Amino acid sequence: MSTVVEWIVWLFEIDSDRIWHVEAVRFSVWLFIWSIISIICDCAVARWSDSKRCFLNPSVKEGFRATAGSYITSLVHSLLVSFRGIDHIRRTLPLPMDVRIQPPLNVDSFDSEAWLGPLKTNRIFMAYLLIDMVRVIIAWPKLGQYDFIFHHLGFMSVSIVGATTISAPFQFGWLIVGEVSTIFLNSRWFLIKLGYGATPIMTAANILFALSFFIFRIVIYTFGVYELYYSSQYLTRPNLVGRCMLIGGILIGYVLNIFWFKKIALLGFSKNQKEKGKTT
């Protein structure tokens, strides 16, 4: 294990031992927390599915029981990190461009909530991604496929570089608020499974999902990438490998979001065409 740590320290040119001794413990705590939350959600879903109060069709119940716990955990995570991400943007946006991407490492700045806030959220986010990716692989392909794995791995690489070198707190903020759309995505899933797929509530959920995806994962992400083009010149703490992983991961995520939004738009367009065909 020590050899792996030494290799990562060399890879990203990390100077602070504090990062490993403290962050590893805090990350492990959140790994444990998400594991417990996941188990509790699975148990709650199983208990409800077996109770007399369960109104699900037998053909739907088995799939719901196997995957609903993961969606509830995802909903809890997306709510938590979305609110924190908005706060990170609020705190870091007024700062100069060079400080937004590469904070100074003196004590006063390091202890500032503008830097510590994203570090805390990063621990929450990374621990969740790891737990979620394990669940996706175990339940393959019910919870996600290869694009899902690439999304998680890309975000994990960006998070590792940013956290270990105390870099890109502003960029982390506008990346993590993309989870706002996940709130409505998970809401859609529950509405469909619970038999509300053809209701006005479902229509509202569809609109909110598409709108939030466009705003947070396309518009804000586009402005973020544009700003990154100019601010990346100040990114000096990670070495070349670290910078490539950080910037490359963000760009890959951007392409993936465009790919997903295209699928969302095509799905919505085809649905509208079918509805128009029924009314004519």
Contact 131, 38 (CB under 8 A): yes
Whether 194 is in a domain gets the answer yes
- How many Å apart are CA 72 and CA 65, to the nearest integer? 12
Helices (H), 51-93: 58-92
Q: What is the pTM of this model?
A: 0.86
Which residue segment(s) compose the domain that 164 sits in? 2-269
Whether 210 is in a domain gets the answer yes
Residues 6+ apart with CB under 8 A from 55: 195
Contact 143, 70 (CB under 8 A): yes
Whether 276 is in a domain gets the answer no
Residue pLDDT tens, the chain, 280 long = 555 555 555 444 544 555 566 677 888 899 999 999 999 999 999 999 988 788 888 878 888 988 999 999 999 999 999 999 999 999 999 999 998 998 877 655 554 778 888 989 999 999 999 999 888 888 887 777 787 788 788 888 888 888 888 889 999 999 999 999 999 999 999 999 998 988 999 999 999 999 999 999 999 999 999 999 999 999 988 888 889 989 998 998 899 899 999 999 887 655 654 554 444 4
Whether 15 is in a domain gets the answer yes
Whether 274 is in a domain gets the answer no
Number of domains in the chain: 1
